[in-house]
Every structure is written in C-alpha cells, then in structure tokens.
Amino acid sequence: MRHKVAIAAAIVCLDWLVKWWVVSSGEFHIRNTGVSFGLGGPGLVMLGLAVIIILGYKDKRVWSETGWWLMLGGITANLGERLIMGGISDYMKVPLIGLWFNLADAAIMLGCIAILSTRGYNNRHENNL
C-alpha cells in the first residue's frame, strides 16, 4: 500500500514543482478553470474523486491499481492547485488540436489507459474460459 500512496504523492509533488518552475521562470503557460485538458468544471473533479475512491479499492490487478493511484495523484494535484490558485497551470500543448495540459493531466490519462487496458484483457481472458 505504501508504494501505491507514493505514486500519488510523487505525481502531486512533481506536478507542483514543474508548475512552480514554469510560472516563476516566465515560461509560457495558460491558466484554466476546467479539469484535464481544460475540459469540464469543478463538479467533474469531485465526481472523479468519488469514482476513484469508490471503485479504486475493489480492483486489485496490478496495472489497474497503479492506474487508480496515477489518477488519484493527478486529480489531487489539479484540485489542490485549483483550490490554492483559483485555476490550473497548463504548460504543454498538443499540436494540431490545441489542447493544453500538464503532468497531472498526463497522469490521469495514463491511469485511465492502464485501467482500461486491464479491463479489456481480463474480459477477453474470462470469455475464453
């Protein structure tokens, strides 16, 4: 359990450290009031946290569990910055589509990918039994 909490804590610390450096060094960034990639709003953040708390403890597969903790770290980092600063600093831009994101958003997306990949694998495996 400790190493899983460490995953979420590391995401929060690294995200805040990079955001502090980007903002204080004058690097180009935007401040958004949405969730990941500037989408959604505060209600979506709370819904995301509730889903992670409710479902996260039920799934004990390694990649799925890691995915839940990545998501928890990313959501916590963004929620903490929103509460303290009134918005989220995004400093990386996806070319061609113009979405801005940060390390916490990347952790949330990687967590989703990890969770979804284990779901598909296990469903296929169980259907073949």
Domain definitions of the chain by residue range? 2-124
Distance CA 127, CA 93 (A): 40
Average pLDDT, integer, range 10-31 = 89
**Amino acid 45: pLDDT:** 60
How far is CA 82 from its chain centroid? 14
pLDDT higher for 9 or 118? 9
pTM (2 d.p.) = 0.73
8 A C-beta contact, residue 107 and residue 38? no
More confident residue, 62 or 105: 105
Task: Decide if pLDDT at 109 tops 50.
Answer: yes
Residue range 1-10: average pLDDT?
Answer: 85
Give pLDDT, residue 27: 77
Mark residue 21 as left, alpha or beta (left: phi above 0; alpha: psi -120 to 50; beta: remaining): alpha
Backbone dihedral region for residue 16 (phi beyond 0: left; psi -120 to 50: alpha; all else: beta)? alpha
Residue 129: predicted pLDDT: 45
Q: Cα separation of 4 and 91, whole Å?
A: 27
pLDDT bin (cut points 50, 70, 90) of residue 46 is low
pLDDT category of residue 14 using cuts at 50, 70 and 90? very high
Convert the pLDDT of each residue in 85-97 to its tens digit: 888 889 888 888 8
Tell me if residue 95 falls in helix, strand or coil: coil
| pLDDT level of residue 121 (50, 70, 90 thresholds) | low
